[in-house]
Amino acid sequence: MSLLETKVSTEVPGPKSKAFQNELERHIDARTVHIVDADGNRYLDVYSQIASVPVGYNNPTLLAAAQSPEMLSALANRAALGNFPSTKWAGILENSLLKIAPKGLDQLFTAQSGSEANELAFKAAFILYRRRQRDGKAWTDEEIQSCMNNAEPGSPHLAVLSFRNSFHGRGFGSLSTTRSKAVHKLDIPSFDWPQASFPALKYPLKSHVAENEAEEQRCLKEVEQLITSWRLPVAALIVEPIQSEGGDNHASPAFFQGLRDITKKHGVVMIVDEVQTGFGATGKFWGHEHFNLTSPPDIVTFSKKAQTAGYFFGDSLLVPDKAYRQFNTWMGDSARVLMSGAVIKEILDNDLVAQCARVGDTLYAELTKLAETYPTLVKNPRGKGSGTYIAFDTKDAGAFIKAMKTNGVNVGTCGVETVRLRPMLIFTEEHIPILINALTKVLSSISA
């Protein structure tokens, strides 16, 4: 069978997949599980483990990294990286994550998930906020004692501003900035933090220029108003270059430049959450490179395709005044940083970011044709010029992706009724027909 052939010969999920799910169900909550390889079915994966597989399954460069002597040691002798890194740690970082540090951000903090990375970024922003207020003065006894009781002034009431429909993770801090779905948030105590409107752009963009510009100005105004009038001081703002889980919502470079201006003006730390947009899929290595910001964001967080997590920053004031304030036992995982190094090598050696930009343009053009043929089922196609980071709205996204799977393609949903394409970076022109054929079959069967 050609590598490019898909094959689905059972119902989905097939009987063996169901049996494995039942086995799992005995000890873990397996209601979200889709086992895809138990029945011999073969799919084109355009969801990529929730956008987290960078360069394909069984990639030889990754397999080699997984068998390196450094990996053996990282796995068998897991270090508390903040205290006792091996002498190789600096070299490992230089040969991996530091190679792709966003422009202007040469400092790194490693973590284990996007959620953790965002929370570490919030903590850095809060510590900086209070450091500026303290203006060189020592911690007071009152601060030291009150923080042990979770009380002011030691535990200050400070806020992070996020956007409606954003997703930044599920820890208690990160979930307080997540605004995508009730299923993520209901019943979990949250901080009293503000949310601003994210631009709801109308498509096609060229037919709604003035309207969309007004919408972005409205949102920027709301952001500034919240920063200046929210009942708690706003220490940081967090934003995705493209809102992903929330529905693949894009905004213009002007909007992001506006955010940079407002945050600079009010001394608010600007955190760009590149957990899903980072590592090339948008046709730039970092999604925020599309915006040509006049000065870099203060913090950029990453995870998913990086295969590890953490954040980059540039301002050394974001390093806390004392050691051990930003710290934990493992401080990331050197095994996963080694895998990240292999991913980065593969991306850079094969110029996969440029490939993504090129393939994305072709894919977007094909999708536009489908939107013309099926205007009620392929609505608001978006992601032009954003590599393969492409999405469209439909009528019943859940049923749509189920039908796609029966036709040999694994895709995901987001937002309310959005189908999001998340191919890996090795997705090329030869995969496009498989995807488009499956889309065409599903669309024609729905509209029949």
Considering only residues 293 to 322 of the shown chain, the ones binding its own copies according to CB under 8 A are 303-304, 307, 319-320, 322
**Which of 167, 256, 302, 313 is flagged as catalytic?**
167
> β-strand 269-273 against 195-196: which pairing, if any?
unpaired
Binding of its own copies at residue 150 (CB under 8 A)? yes
Closest to its own copies by CB, 56 vs 208, is 56
221 is an active site residue: no
Active site residue 282: no
Within 8 A by CB and 6+ apart from 275, the residues are 114, 117, 118, 168, 169, 240, 301, 302, 303, 304, 309
Interface positions, 189-248, toward its own copies (CB under 8 A): 189-193, 195
3-class SS letters over 162-214: EECCCCCCCCHHHHHHCCCCHHHHCCCCCCCCCEECCCCCCCCHHHCHHHHHH
Question: Which position among 156, 205, 208, 436 is part of the footprint of its own copies (CB under 8 A)?
Answer: 156
Name the residue among 378, 368, 433 with its Cα closest to residue 407: 433
Strand 44-45 versus strand 418-421 pairing type: unpaired
Number of residues that bind its own copies (CB under 8 A): 121
**167 classed as catalytic:** yes
Please identify which of the residues 329, 362, 373, 376 carries the catalytic annotation: 329
307-to-76, 89, 265, 351 alpha-carbon distances in Å: 19, 17, 35, 19
Which one is catalytic: 45, 248, 273, 298? 273
Reported residue count of the chain is: 448
Beta-carbon contacts of 21 under 8 Å, excluding residues fewer than 6 positions away, are: 13, 30, 33, 35
Instruction: Classify 109 as helix, strand or coil.
Output: strand
User: Which C-beta is closer to its own copies: that of 54 or that of 241?
Assistant: 54
Minimum CB distance to its own copies smaller for 67 or for 294? 67
Instruction: For its own copies, give the closer residue by CB, 51 or 442.
Output: 51
Using CB under 8 A as the binding rule, whether residue 163 contacts its own copies is answered as no
Residue number, 377 or 414, with CB nearest to its own copies: 414
Touching its own copies, residues 366-395 (CB under 8 A)? none
158: contact with its own copies by CB under 8 A? yes
In the numeric block, the tokens 């046709």 are attached to: 283
Least distance (Å) from its own copies to the CB of residue 368?
Answer: 29
CB of 315 to its own copies, least distance (A): 13
143 is a contact residue toward its own copies (CB under 8 A)? yes
Contact criterion met (CB below 8 Å) for 340 and 307: yes
Residues 256-295 that bind its own copies (CB under 8 A): none
Please report, for residues 167, 301, 311, the alpha-carbon distance to residue 113 in angstroms, rounded to integers and kept in the order given: 14, 10, 10
- One symbol per residue from 18 to 57: x for binding its own copies (CB under 8 A), - otherwise; what is it? --x--xx-xxxx-xxxxxxxx----------xx-xx---x
Rg (CA), the chain: 23
Under the criterion CB under 8 A, does residue 95 sit at the interface with its own copies? no
Nearer to its own copies, 203 or 330 (CB): 330
Question: Would you count residue 109 as binding its own copies (CB under 8 A)?
Answer: yes
Nearer to its own copies, 163 or 256 (CB): 163
Minimum Å distance from CB 186 to its own copies? 5
Percent helix, percent strand, percent coil in the chain, to nearest 5: 45, 10, 45
> Any idea what the Cα angle at residue 270 is, between residues 178 and 393, rounded to 5°?
45
* 85 vs 104 by CB, closer to its own copies: 85
| C-alpha to C-alpha distance for 106 and 20, rounded to whole angstroms | 45
Instruction: Kindly identify the residues of this chain, within the stretch 398-417, that bind its own copies according to CB under 8 A.
Output: none
237 versus 357: smaller Cβ distance to its own copies: 237
Among 252, 254, 330, 441, binds its own copies (CB under 8 A): 330
Query: Which strand (E) or helix (H) includes residue 113?
Result: none
Q: Which residues of 206-222 are buried (b: 16+ CB within 10 A; e: fewer)?
A: eeeeeebeebbeebbeb
User: Nearest approach, Cβ of 29 to its own copies (angstroms)?
Assistant: 5
- Find the binder of its own copies among 10, 14, 42, 89 (CB under 8 A): 89
89 close to 332: Cβ distance less than 8 angstroms: no
Report the nearest approach of its own copies to the CB of residue 25 (Å).
9
Q: Closest approach of Cβ 230 to its own copies, in Å?
A: 12
| Catalytic member of 304, 305, 345, 405 | 304
In the complex, the smallest distance separating the C-beta of residue 226 from its own copies, rounded to whole angstroms, is: 13
**314 contacts 298 by C-beta, under 8 angstroms:** yes
170 binds its own copies (CB under 8 A): yes
Asked whether the beta carbons of 251 and 199 are under 8 A apart, the reply is yes
Instruction: For the CB of residue 220, give the shortest distance to its own copies in the complex, in Å.
Output: 21
At closest approach, how far in Å is the CB of 151 from its own copies?
A: 8
Q: What is the amino acid identity at position 279? A: F
Residues with catalytic function: 167, 273, 304, 329
